[in-house]
Amino acid sequence: MNETALQNKIRLAIAAPNVKMFRNNVGQIGGLSFGLCKGSSDLIGFTSKTITPEMVGQQVAIFTAIEVKTDKGKISPAQTKFIELVNRSGGIGAVVRSIDDAMDVLKT
């Protein structure tokens, strides 16, 4: 299965009321850059969670970045740095290679 097909299957599998993910195309055409930033993940969005006793019942959106790779796909240094930045900043960032990986990351 190629990366695009895997990504589409993952997007369908992780669909849940508390998870909102969007396809993030990154690239450049003739000097014009598009997408979030170089190295940003394939799927960008948020995971909504209930937090802390004093905020019982409230929801918080946690920035979520999922980089989809096939079993043989390689992660670029820029992608690694982006995932590390997301995690250091309190978000959810991960590289996934299967639907099960994605489900584990999001715990849906």
Tens of pLDDT, residue by residue over 84-93, are: 999 999 999 9
Domain that holds residue 52: 3-106
- Report the pLDDT value the prediction gives residue 20, as an integer from 0 to 100: 93
Which amino acid, 93? G
pLDDT tens for 40-92 read 999 999 998 877 788 778 888 999 999 999 999 999 999 999 999 999 999 99
The answer to whether residues 36 and 21 touch, using CB atoms and an 8 Å cutoff, is no
Residue with tokens 């669909």: 15
**Collapsed DSSP state (helix, strand, coil) of residue 11:** helix
CATH number of the domain encompassing residue 91? 3.40.1350.10
Q: Please tell me the distance from the alpha carbon of residue 25 to that of residue 68, in angstroms, as a whole number.
A: 12
pTM of the model: 0.80
What are residue 7's phi and psi, to 5 degrees?
-60, -45
How many independent structural domains does the chain possess? 1
Q: Tokens at residue 93, please? A: 């960032």
